[in-house]
């Protein structure tokens, strides 16, 4: 793994807690899964780690992205639980389900964040070894999520637009 | 649509010429790349909701990164993505001016890899304009979010 454990006092809990709550809520309500969250850490460099990534961009008073990434096996299990039936892998319907789950997680977190920001339509990246890069001036925090079917990650890379203008 | 297509052609030729001192040509068809692809997009939201996306082969993005960041060594994957993100930001930022206002652009997000696809939910492709550059390809696409999904 290319990530390192961050010092706890460097990660703002106000930023992380809404995503932790939304992951737990969305997995419980859509898949009937209980989940646990590991210690967040900073992502040091992009790694070739996942098969599917749902990406949502923030604009307005908050800028940046949130990325929800899955390995193939977990994606299949989660989409099956979410849709109530098996969807053929690597079809538009399967990718759309990943996008909808991303939208639910990030949308709920955005509401709890309480910021006047817009979120984009979800985009879904399908393919082993893809690398997602955000602007280098925004730190990326990885929130590892454990489920009964495996682990996935929520990667949060956002900051206030006021900070951008001031810089 | 004609206005959007002609604006994309004009902007892309201008950005590559002025920022990278590189000539690009409008192509007839959207090409596919056999090799690694770099992809970058800027989301626009508010009065108009959609995406401006730029994709190109690794060779084109490598030359863009080398010129943009004045690199002497071979650019890294992150260099390629940063360069394409900057170019997407420029093109998206100028295209935004001809879209309904107010509209707010996101920061660019870039993706690289050898074999991946990108799908935007609740959206349709308004246009995808292809270009050629040094034997490689560039495509600038604009997607609009379905009104029903807002």
pLDDT for A8: 42
What would the mean pLDDT of B115-135 be, rounded to a whole number?
Answer: 92
Q: Which domains does chain B have, with CATH numbers?
A: 2-149 (3.40.1550.10)
Kindly determine whether residue B121 and residue A123, on different chains, have CB atoms separated by under 8 Å.
Answer: yes
CB atoms within 10 A of CB A132: 22
Kindly determine whether residue B49 and residue A121, on different chains, have CB atoms separated by under 8 Å.
Answer: yes
pLDDT for A7: 45
Kindly determine whether residue B117 and residue A122, on different chains, have CB atoms separated by under 8 Å.
Answer: no
Rounded Cα distance, A84 and B22, in Å: 52
Q: Could you say which of B50, B107, B119 has the minimum Cβ distance to residue A95? A: B119
Where do we find the tokens 């100028």? B94
Percent of chain A with pLDDT over 70: 89
DSSP conformational letter for A54: E
Residue of chain B whose alpha carbon sits nearest to that of A124: B119
Alpha-carbon dihedral A134, A135, A137, A142, rounded to 10 degrees: 0
Contacts of B115 in chain A (CB under 8 A): 127-129
The model's confidence at residue B149, banded by pLDDT at 50, 70 and 90, is: low
Q: Could you say which of B43, B107, B111 has the minimum Cβ distance to residue A125? A: B111
- Of residues A61, A156, A35, A66, the one with CA closest to residue A114: A61
- The mean predicted confidence, pLDDT, of chain A is 87
pLDDT in tens, B38-53: 899 999 988 899 999 9
How many Å from the N-terminal Cα to the C-terminal Cα in chain B?
22
Alpha-carbon dihedral B62, B67, B68, B70, rounded to 10 degrees: 110
Q: Could you say which of A126, A127, A132 has the minimum Cβ distance to residue B109? A: A132
Most A CBs within 10 Å: which of B39, B43, B114, as the mutation test of the A interface? B43
pLDDT for A167: 53
Residue of chain B whose alpha carbon sits nearest to that of A51: B116
- Of residues A87, A90, A123, the one with CA closest to residue A106: A123
Return the sign of the alpha-carbon dihedral for residues A3, A99, B124, B28: positive
Q: Is residue A126 a contact partner of residue B116, using CB atoms and an 8 Å limit?
A: yes
3-state secondary structure of A82: helix
Rounded Cα distance, A110 and A59, in Å: 12
Task: Tokens for A89, please give them.
Answer: 């892998």
Q: Is A135 on the interface with B (CB under 8 A)?
A: yes
- Of residues B143, B84, B133, the one with CA closest to residue A131: B84
pLDDT at A9 over 70: no
Kindly determine whether residue B116 and residue A103, on different chains, have CB atoms separated by under 8 Å.
Answer: no
pTM: 0.88
pLDDT for A163: 63
ipTM for the whole complex: 0.85
pLDDT for A144: 95
Rounded Cα distance, B40 and A162, in Å: 24
Name the pairing type of β-strands A123-126 and B117-120: antiparallel
Rounded Cα distance, B5 and B9, in Å: 6
Q: Is residue B16 a contact partner of residue B8, using CB atoms and an 8 Å limit?
A: no
Q: Is residue A143 a contact partner of residue A156, using CB atoms and an 8 Å limit?
A: yes
Percent of chain A with pLDDT over 90: 63
Q: Could you say which of A45, A57, A92 has the minimum Cβ distance to residue B109? A: A57
Q: Could you say which of A58, A65, A96 has the minimum Cβ distance to residue B121? A: A96
pLDDT for B41: 95
Of the listed ranges A44-48, A59-63, B126-130, the least confidently predicted one is A44-48
pLDDT in tens, B76-97: 888 888 899 999 999 999 898 8
Most A CBs within 10 Å: which of B33, B113, B121, as the mutation test of the A interface? B121
The model's confidence at residue A11, banded by pLDDT at 50, 70 and 90, is: low
Q: How far is CA B120 from CA A95, B16, B77, B133, in A?
A: 9, 26, 23, 26
Task: Tokens for A15, please give them.
Answer: 């930023």
Q: Is residue B18 a contact partner of residue B105, using CB atoms and an 8 Å limit?
A: no
What would the mean pLDDT of A123-145 be, rounded to a whole number?
Answer: 88
Contacts of B104 in chain A (CB under 8 A): 59-60, 118
CA–CA min distance B9, chain A (Å): 25
| Helix intervals (H) in B1-150 | 2-20, 58-68, 77-95
pLDDT for A77: 97
Contacts of A110 in chain B (CB under 8 A): none
Q: Could you say which of A129, A131, A135 has the minimum Cβ distance to residue B85? A: A135
Task: Tokens for A86, please give them.
Answer: 């098996």
């Amino acid at each position: 793994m290319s990530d390192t454990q961050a010092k706890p006092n460097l990660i703002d809990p106000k930023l992380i807690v809404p995503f932790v709550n939304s992951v737990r809520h969305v997995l419980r309500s859509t898949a009937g899964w209980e989940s646990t969250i590991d210690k967040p850490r900073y992502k040091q460099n992009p790694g070739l780690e996942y098969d599917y990534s749902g990406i949502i961009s923030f604009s307005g008073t908050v800028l940046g992205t949130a990325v929800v990434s899955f390995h193939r096996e977990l994606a299949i299990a989660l989409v099956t639980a979410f849709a109530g039936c098996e969807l053929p892998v690597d079809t538009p319907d399967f990718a759309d389900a990943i996008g909808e789950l991303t939208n639910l997680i990030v949308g709920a977190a955005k509401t709890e964040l309480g910021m006047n920001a817009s979120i984009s339509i979800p985009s879904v990246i399908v393919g082993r070894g893809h690398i997602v890069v955000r602007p280098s001036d925004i730190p990326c925090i990885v929130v590892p999520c454990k489920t009964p079917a495996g682990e996935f990650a929520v990667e949060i890379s956002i900051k206030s637009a006021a900070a951008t203008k001031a810089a | 649509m004609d206005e959007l297509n002609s604006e994309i052609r004009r902007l892309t030729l201008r950005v590559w010429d002025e920022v990278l001192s590189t000539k690009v040509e409008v192509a007839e068809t959207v090409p596919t790349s056999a090799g690694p692809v770099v992809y970058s997009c800027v989301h626009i939201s508010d009065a108009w909701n959609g995406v401006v996306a730029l994709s190109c082969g690794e060779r084109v993005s490598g030359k863009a990164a080398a010129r943009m960041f004045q690199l002497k060594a071979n650019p890294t994957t992150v260099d390629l993505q940063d360069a394409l993100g900057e170019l997407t930001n420029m093109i998206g930022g100028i295209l935004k001016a001809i879209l309904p206002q107010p509209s707010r652009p996101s920061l660019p997000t870039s993706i690289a890899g050898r074999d991946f696809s990108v799908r935007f939910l609740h959206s349709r492709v308004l246009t995808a304009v292809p270009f050629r550059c040094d034997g490689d390809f560039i495509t600038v696409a604009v997607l609009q979010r379905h009104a029903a999904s807002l």
